Amino acid sequence: MDGGPGILCSRASYTENLGCPVTLRAARGGGRGVFDHLSAGRWWDRGLQLVDGCAPVTAGCAHCWAATLARRFPRSRMYVDPRASTWTGRVTFNRTALDRPMRCRRPQAWALWNDLCHPGVTDSDFLATWQMMTRSPRHVFILLTKRPERLEALHRRYCLVWPGHIWPGTSISTQRDADRNLPFLAGIPSAVKVISYEPALGPWQAGSSCLGLVLGHGLPWIIAGGETGGGARPADPEWFRHVRDSCIALGLPFFFKGWGSWAPVASADLSDRVLAQLATCEHPSGAVSYRVGNRKFRSLDGRKWDQCPASPGRAEDF
């Protein structure tokens, strides 16, 4: 089950095929470089919020954390109607935040998750972001979107050449999301492609999906996790096991962010007295999850999965 050396061996075979010198690294702490927060369940070092406002796309948006945050701070520029608990539909691009990575001398992994591919973001705004990212090669930029069709269209329209430190990614929650989104990701010739299977809301046949990406071009990095917060929907542990095992079989890095608000905990994790007070959910697989709320559980079958790729030319930063 140990993914380190096994994955490194497997990695050599497919990166040779791709001509893509991507290496894997184990997580480390210390707070001095890129991806220093993996052991805390964070696959990014800093978030870069360039876009205020959004609109739901899939079932995975039902408990959007950005909308929750905006409701909590109604005077922020996030454009949520607190009475209707929905986005207002207004979207603006925050150009003043663009220079943050350029002012940051320490190499960091920046997550751009407030959707840069929303139709309310102009091509010009996207290209300004692109220019900033290409001029900041000391960082890694993870461009995560639920609208990969626009990302792929922008790639084709502007003939983008993807440097090794810019990683496009998409969020999926179900097989249906994967079937819809991953072909667009496959059309982008980047060294690394991020697939965020979070919140997991249904099973995903990761092996066949990822094989398609590997054969296309680039290294898929799989991030997985359960839903958090009020109204969180429980995920069957078998879904995560299947994705992890597919990553092992294909030699892909796997990062398990955590169980979220429902976890298959045992008395080794919480006392019997506490367990007896928690709501439970029995899954079709027979596994039982407990509503653990804000308690953070990250182990999957007795270990943490904190793997991530290192991009070409960045090994010295790790």
Q: Which residues bind ligand SF4 (CB under 6 A)?
A: 54, 56-57, 61, 64, 66-67, 114-115, 146
- We find the least distance from the C-beta atom of residue 306 to ligand SF4, in angstroms, to be 24
- We find the least distance from the C-beta atom of residue 54 to ligand SF4, in angstroms, to be 3
Instruction: Give the residue with the Cβ less far from ligand SF4, 64 or 166.
Output: 64
Closest CA to 260 of 284, 286, 224, 288: 224
Instruction: Give the residue with the Cβ less far from ligand SF4, 114 or 246.
Output: 114
Answer positive or negative: Cα dihedral of 142, 191, 102, 29. positive
- We find the least distance from the C-beta atom of residue 245 to ligand SF4, in angstroms, to be 27
- We find the least distance from the C-beta atom of residue 144 to ligand SF4, in angstroms, to be 8
- We find the least distance from the C-beta atom of residue 276 to ligand SF4, in angstroms, to be 34
Instruction: Give the residue with the Cβ less far from ligand SF4, 57 or 288.
Output: 57
Whose tokens are 């899954």? That residue is: 283
Instruction: Give the residue with the Cβ less far from ligand SF4, 20 or 143.
Output: 143
Alpha-carbon gap, residue 199 to 304, rounded angstroms: 18
Alpha-carbon gap, residue 226 to 240, rounded angstroms: 9
Instruction: Give the residue with the Cβ less far from ligand SF4, 185 or 252.
Output: 185
- We find the least distance from the C-beta atom of residue 176 to ligand SF4, in angstroms, to be 15
Alpha-carbon gap, residue 280 to 24, rounded angstroms: 37
Q: What is the C-alpha radius of gyration for the chain, rounded to an integer number of angstroms?
A: 19
Alpha-carbon gap, residue 114 to 70, rounded angstroms: 12
Q: Read off φ and ψ for residue 29, nearest 5 degrees.
A: -105, -165
Closest CA to 111 of 188, 187, 50, 190: 50
Strands of the 166-172 sheet, one edge to the other: 46-47, 109-112, 140-145, 166-172, 192-197, 219-225, 254-258
Could you give the angle at which helices 206-216 and 175-186 cross, rounded to 10 degrees?
10
Instruction: Give the residue with the Cβ less far from ligand SF4, 15 or 114.
Output: 114
Is the CB of residue 79 less than 8 Å from the CB of residue 90? yes
- We find the least distance from the C-beta atom of residue 21 to ligand SF4, in angstroms, to be 32
Instruction: Give the residue with the Cβ less far from ligand SF4, 69 or 276.
Output: 69
Instruction: Give the residue with the Cβ less far from ligand SF4, 260 or 264.
Output: 260
Length of the chain: 318
CB-count exposure of residue 315 (10 Å: 0-12, 13-18, 19+): exposed
- We find the least distance from the C-beta atom of residue 57 to ligand SF4, in angstroms, to be 5
